[in-house]
A = this chain, B = another copy of it.
Amino acid sequence: MGLVYEMPHEVSYYECDMYGKMTLSMLVAVAIKASEQQSTLLNRGTAYIHSFGLNWIITDYEIWLKRLPKVGEKIHFKTEAIAYNRFFCYRNFGVFDEDGSLLVEIETVFALMNQETRKLARVQDEMIAPYESEKLKSIKRMESILPVEEGEEAIFQIQFFDIDENKHVNNAVYFNWLFSPLGLDFLTTNVPVKIRVRFEKEILYGNQSHSLFEKRMEENRFLTLHEIKVADEVCCRSQIEWKKRETLGLAD
């Protein structure tokens, strides 16, 4: 439903966790790089969007994981901007191994933010035309996220290096905030198979964020539910489904 762009990538050690698996944060960052390359190729790069006083932001992720790539592995990213409506653009990514097997599938929602007012701006047809995306009247729905009922808490001070060119915490940073509080033992014995993230409010430099999480069994799915808050305001919600590492044959 849109032009497909493909980008090869070799996984570096610094993109990996202590077990040599690519981190979600880096996987998402590299995926976004592929979409930026496509935009530049189609003359819809950062300078073009800035000329309207706008930035792209990401409001939603839905991610299906078969396996995370490992250090040294040659992978490639495929991405296409599949559809858009008045305020939202829908872009999908696939991450493939050297044999062409799908490792990770990512669905995203992009929106345009006015650099001055920090409010959402209308998507104009000319911005999207070169991507050959389908124009929709409706809004696509993603999986809903269960609320945290009784959460454990971790506190994060926003660091200079968490902030991106949009002058807010980069969306890839949130994946570290979601995963880290779960701790070494949990992250060693469990692997994520499905991740849903929704960003509700940007987080700025000088804020202090709280990451709350709760573990829950829900219709035979082992879930963790997450809220990232600044003061009492929820800025990000997430729901992650996990499987035991050994049941997936992922001990390598």
Say whether A85 faces chain B, with CB atoms less than 8 Å apart: no
How many of chain A's residues have a CB under 8 angstroms from any CB in B? Answer: 36
Q: Are A161 and B14 in contact (CB under 8 A)?
A: no
Say whether A59 faces chain B, with CB atoms less than 8 Å apart: no
Interface readout for A1-31 with B: 1 if CB under 8 Å, 0 if not? Answer: 0000000000011101111100101100110
Say whether A172 faces chain B, with CB atoms less than 8 Å apart: yes
Q: Which of A135-143, A179-187, A229-237 contacts B (4 or more CB under 8 A)?
A: A179-187
Say whether A159 faces chain B, with CB atoms less than 8 Å apart: yes
Closest residue of chain B to A168 (Cβ to Cβ) is B18
Q: Are B13 and A165 in contact (CB under 8 A)?
A: yes
Q: Are B179 and A160 in contact (CB under 8 A)?
A: yes
Chain B contacts for A73, CB-based, 8 A: none
Q: Are A161 and B184 in contact (CB under 8 A)?
A: no
Chain B contacts for A154, CB-based, 8 A: 157
Docked pose: A164 CA to B71 CA in angstroms: 12
Interface readout for A203-229 with B: 1 if CB under 8 Å, 0 if not? Answer: 001100000000000000000000000
Docked pose: A172 CA to B12 CA in angstroms: 14
Q: Are A12 and B33 in contact (CB under 8 A)?
A: yes
Q: Are B165 and A180 in contact (CB under 8 A)?
A: no
Given contacts A14-B30, A165-B13, contact A160 B172 (CB under 8 A): no
Question: Contact residues of A with B, CB < 8 Å?
Answer: 12-14, 16-20, 23, 25-26, 29-30, 32-33, 36, 154, 157, 159-161, 163-165, 167, 170, 172, 176, 179-180, 182-184, 187, 205-206
